[in-house]
Structure 1
Amino acid sequence: MPRYRRVNIDGESLYKTETRKLAATLNPGTFVVINASNLFAQASAPVGRMYVLDCAYHEGLGITDPIPSGHSGVGNYLEEGREFAVRVAAGAYKKDQPITVVAGQAAAVPAAAGTYQVIGYCQDDVTTTAVDFIRIRARASSVTVA
């Protein structure tokens, strides 16, 4: 059972979303972009206008149910101050920890040397033992940290 039941935590989904068909089967709480075919596609890294894929409630699917390729998906605008439950790999997450995007999924910015695009900050103190969700607060634009 995931820690959250919905992706959109801030309740602004009525007017801050886009609806598109999916280019591939995708999970709620992952980051997507609109590709050249006007479909939602998984974001491989922080780039351009990004969205957080919501659950497909309109198809009876919940937060842990993948949305099939070619089906309709709702993407929430990734904008300053918005809060989302996003999909993460197992690990330890701390409040105010910088978050980036790796292969469509939220990931903690590594402590190792490198350059990373921060898209938001973790709002939970939690250790997950499997793929789960954490709450993040988004930034207006990504910031590079080294």
Structure 2
Amino acid sequence: MSRYRRVNIDGKSLYKTETRKTAAALYPGTFAVINGSNLFAQATTPIGRMYVVDSAYHEGLGITDQVPSGHSAIGNYLEEGREFAVRVAAGTYTKDQAITVVAGQAAAVPTTAGTYKVIGYCQDAVTTTAVDFIRIRVRADSVVVS
């Protein structure tokens, strides 16, 4: 059971989305890009124009159900100020914690040495014990932190 029932928290889905078939099965709340075949593909890192995959309500699927490979998916534009419930691994998340993308999922920017692109900030203070969702607010441009 997820803490959220929908991915699009800001309610701008009517005019801030793209619809494409999927190159592979994708979970709602993960990040995708449009690949060379004009399909949604999992984004592995923050790169170019990205989308947050929405639930496939049109197929009777909920926020925890994968959109099957080759099926129609709705991708919400990742734009300044928008808020989404995004899929994260188990862990502790704090309000205003910097968030990046790792293997298609939102992840807290690691405290270890490295360079990371910040795509937004956590809006929840929560500890999850399994894969779940956190609410993020997207920032205008990716900030690189080292």
The equivalent residue for 1:96 is 96
Number of aligned residues: 146
* 1:1-54 alpha-carbon deviations (Å, 9 max, x no partner): 100000000000000000000000010000000000000000000000000000
Q: Match of 1:58, SS?
A: helix
Q: Percent of aligned pairs with the same residue?
A: 82
Gaps of 5+ in 2: none
TM-score by length of structure 2 reads 0.99
Gaps of 5+ in 1: none
- In 2, Cα distance between equivalents of 1:26 and 1:51: 12
* 1:68-104 alpha-carbon deviations (Å, 9 max, x no partner): 0000000000000000000000000000000000000
TM-score by length of structure 1 reads 0.99
Query: RMSD of the alignment, in Å?
Result: 0.3
Tell me if 1:25 matches 2:25: yes
The equivalent residue for 1:81 is 81
The equivalent residue for 1:108 is 108
User: 4+ residue runs of structure 1 moved beyond 6 angstroms?
Assistant: none
The equivalent residue for 1:139 is 139
